[in-house]
Amino acid sequence: MSLGRLRKLFAVFDADVVVYVRWRAGDLDRLIDSRHASLAERVTQLLELAGWIVAPEVSFSVFGERGSIDLLAWHPATRTLLVIELKSELTSIEATLRQHDVKVRLGPDIARERFGWDAAAVARLLVLPDDRTSRRRVEHHRAVFARAYPQRNVAVRHWLKLPVGALGGILFLSDAMAARSKRRVRRIRGAPPGP
């Protein structure tokens, strides 16, 4: 039975088919890590240009809950804490929402203890690659995502420049955006723009 047929069959029950690939070599892990690291790099550039301080891979262990916040960002002027979940591929919707919720709930205490950031507002941002697969997955579960992450790209980008209050949003990030961000950084630093 094809994967497409399996997905259609389980979609009737609003269920996802998740395939885990196991491979002896480390190339698959390196590929996944590379995509994740690329997203982290692009988001960090975007945030730093907007005046945020970014801490990557902030690990925690609180009352048996363990994990790592992909990016924890701080906007000093507004005392806003942003808890960012990066997904190079959106597989389990339930796991993504649950894990991100834990990180958002624990985020203020972690930020205060680790960095001395005393947040007046806490926001959540899910960052996904801007591709058809990611957009289709979000659209397929539109009602669920709309409750956890009601804001999308344009509104998210405006909020990142001037964060007022809490935000729940999804940012689809493309390679074209990364190239534009790099050109802006070069111009700000006074170097001539690249070819």
Which pLDDT value is given to residue 22? Answer: 57
Whether residue 36 is contained in a domain is answered as: yes
CATH number at residue 127: 3.40.1350
Look-up of token digits 């591929």? 89
Which pLDDT value is given to residue 59? Answer: 94
Distances (CA, A) of 15 to 1, 91, 128: 17, 12, 21
Whether residue 34 is contained in a domain is answered as: yes
Which pLDDT value is given to residue 20? Answer: 62
pLDDT in tens, 12-24: 887 777 776 655 5
- Cβ-contact 36, 68 below 8 angstroms: no
pLDDT in tens, 143-164: 999 999 999 999 999 999 999 9
Instruction: Residue 60: give the domain boundaries.
Output: 27-188
The model carries a pTM of 0.74
Whether residue 33 is contained in a domain is answered as: yes
Collapse the DSSP code of 191 into the 3-class scheme (helix H, G, I; strand E, B; otherwise coil) and give the result: coil
Which pLDDT value is given to residue 28? Answer: 45
Collapse the DSSP code of 152 into the 3-class scheme (helix H, G, I; strand E, B; otherwise coil) and give the result: coil
Query: Pairing relation of β-strands 168-173 and 121-129?
Result: parallel
Domain count, the chain: 1
Nearest-10 crossing angle of helices 175-188, 27-49: 50
Q: What is the pLDDT along the chain (195 residues), one digit of tens a residue?
A: 787 888 888 888 877 777 766 555 444 444 457 788 889 999 999 999 999 999 999 999 988 888 999 999 999 999 999 999 999 888 889 999 999 999 999 999 999 999 999 999 999 999 999 999 999 999 999 999 999 999 999 999 999 999 998 999 999 998 644 445 445 544 554 444 544
Whether residue 142 is contained in a domain is answered as: yes
Question: How would you label 58-68 residue by residue, b for 16+ Cβ within 10 Å and e otherwise?
Answer: bebeeeeeeee
Whether residue 16 is contained in a domain is answered as: no
Which pLDDT value is given to residue 97? Answer: 94
| DSSP string of 85-108, one letter each residue | EE-SS---HHHHHHHHHHHHHHHH
